[in-house]
């Protein structure tokens, strides 16, 4: 028997809430939840990213007055009685894709490859450092980013998270041993830095205890 679960788009997660998602979503966007079948043992969780239809400017423009993108990331505080594989006290590797404005309000596609970034270990909001330095556009237009954890897989059906630029999805094969964290998109420019990326759990691990009235029932 196949069970069903609902997940969300991590793109444009603003505005209003949608039943079954647990995160706010943007007004005007439909079908922001997608049903995914959970087979025995493992399943594939796909998270859709927004793909705009405009041409994309270069992520890093040569020369000019460049301002490096150095955002911060906040992680959920573990609740009493829960277990989290992700340990915010240690350095963690996150993954992002970026899209840039070609004109005010006109967004290019997300990049063809994911960008790795490390978060300094510690409580609260900590700085992110991209493996390859990222810069805001020198012309003052905005850059948008969306992030997830874990990531870095080079092929599909991996527990580490595989970014498929052709479909605009990130997919994980769920093995029950990993946390999956998503951060809503953030926007910024050289004159207004991106707000903090607030990562939230996209799934939870449940533990069941079974009791019997007597030895015979057990």
**pTM of the complete model beyond 0.75:** no
Domains of the chain, CATH where assigned: 52-166+177-201 (2.60.40)
**Using CA atoms, how far apart are residues 100 and 22, in angstroms rounded to an integer?**
28
Longest Cα pair distance anywhere in the chain, in angstroms?
A: 79
**Using CA atoms, how far apart are residues 83 and 171, in angstroms rounded to an integer?**
23
**Segment 13-30 mean pLDDT:** 33
**Using CA atoms, how far apart are residues 218 and 214, in angstroms rounded to an integer?**
6
pLDDT tens column, 66-114: 999 999 999 887 665 556 667 788 899 999 999 999 999 999 999 999 9
pLDDT tens column, 188-215: 999 999 999 999 988 766 667 888 888 7
**Using CA atoms, how far apart are residues 16 and 181, in angstroms rounded to an integer?**
20
């Amino acid at each position: 028997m196949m069970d069903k679960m609902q997940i969300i788009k991590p793109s444009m997660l603003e505005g209003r809430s949608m039943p079954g998602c647990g995160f706010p979503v943007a007004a005007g966007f439909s079908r922001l939840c997608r049903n995914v079948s959970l087979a025995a043992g493992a399943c594939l969780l796909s998270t859709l990213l927004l793909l705009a239809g405009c041409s994309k400017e270069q992520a890093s423009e040569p020369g000019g007055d460049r301002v490096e993108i150095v955002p911060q990331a906040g992680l959920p505080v573990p609740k009493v009685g829960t277990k989290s594989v992700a340990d915010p006290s240690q350095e963690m590797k996150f993954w992002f894709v970026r899209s840039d404005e070609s004109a005010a309000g006109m967004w290019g596609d997300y990049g063809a490859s994911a960008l790795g970034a490390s978060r300094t270990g510690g409580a609260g909001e900590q700085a992110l450092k991209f493996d390859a330095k990222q810069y805001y556009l020198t012309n003052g237009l905005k850059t948008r980013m969306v992030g997830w954890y874990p990531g870095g897989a080079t092929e599909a059906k991996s527990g580490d998270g595989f970014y498929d630029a052709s479909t605009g999805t990130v997919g994980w094969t769920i093995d029950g041993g990993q946390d999956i964290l998503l951060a809503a998109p953030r926007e910024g420019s050289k004159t207004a830095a991106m707000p903090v990326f607030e990562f939230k759990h996209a799934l939870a691990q449940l533990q069941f205890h079974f009791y019997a009235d007597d030895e015979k029932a057990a």
